[in-house]
Structure 1
């Protein structure tokens, strides 16, 4: 069963995010709190959305797709950027990941969005094979850049303090 997340799902979402961070060997970077997730997903101005894969019988949360809208200036329309897709190891191979991606693709088609994009770690061969089997293709000509922590603070302090 795939369904939109509700506020009651926040503890499970938080747990799944931490499980994903551990799988990606970056647990120390997973600093989001349940309160932050609640505000981002269900506050007055939601910045992100989530869908849950749940067991049809027990309702147990088995997977998560957390996403937000992006915008293509070239196409002139929104798309979905999938921030996190995670299915618990014990539930993998049962179609939950594909069902989550199918739901996001359905939303794109229904709403006129023209892209569904995400990033995957280069070493994550099982995920890469899964995505490519669905028809997704890597965008090898692009390199992701990121500013965080001290570098972000320094640049954000303005030209008088940035050492560029």
Structure 2
């Protein structure tokens, strides 16, 4: 069963984020707190949304996503930030069900794109994504600014913030 996350799900979502970070070999990178996640998902202006996969009433996976926007199509889309299914529940169709639920959100709302990133070394997941018809964007490279580089660039902005 796939359902929308509720505020009471924040602790289990946070735990699964930690499990995902460990799987991706960067457990120290998962620094979000329960209050941050609760505000992001359920505050007055939610920045993100989450779905929960359940098996026998127990959360076994989640998908955390937010809206993006394409200037080329003039429509919103879904960007999947995290998809995770606990190891003991893998192979049960939960990942595909979470992706299908997000695809349904896209179609119902007229969004034309559903996008996400995957680590190059994660061959089992890449194979899974290909099996559902997803295609890699081989000509694109993800860039990221964090830490000192982010602060340095922010400090170079004109005083008016433009």
Assess same fold via TM > 0.5. Answer: yes
Give the aligned partner of residue 86 of structure 1: 84
Give the aligned partner of residue 36 of structure 1: 36
Offset, 1:159: 4.9
After TM superposition, where is structure 1 displaced by more than 6 Å over at least 4 residues in a row? Answer: none
Q: Secondary structure at the match of 2:17?
A: helix
| Cα deviations by residue, 1:26-66 (Å, 9 ceiling, x for unpaired) | 111111001100000000100000000011x2x11100000
- Whether 2:137 is the aligned partner of 1:139: answer yes
- Matched residues in 2 for 1:95 and 1:87: separation? 10
* C-alpha RMSD over aligned residues: 0.9
Give the aligned partner of residue 10 of structure 2: 10
TM-score by length of 1: 0.95
Q: Choose the corresponding residue for 2:152, options 151, 154, 161.
A: 154
Q: Choose the corresponding residue for 2:112, options 114, 121, 134.
A: 114
TM-score by length of 2: 0.96
Question: What are structure 2's unaligned runs of at least 5 residues?
Answer: none
- Matched residues in 2 for 1:6 and 1:159: separation? 39
Question: What are structure 1's unaligned runs of at least 5 residues?
Answer: none
The size of the alignment, in residue pairs, is 158
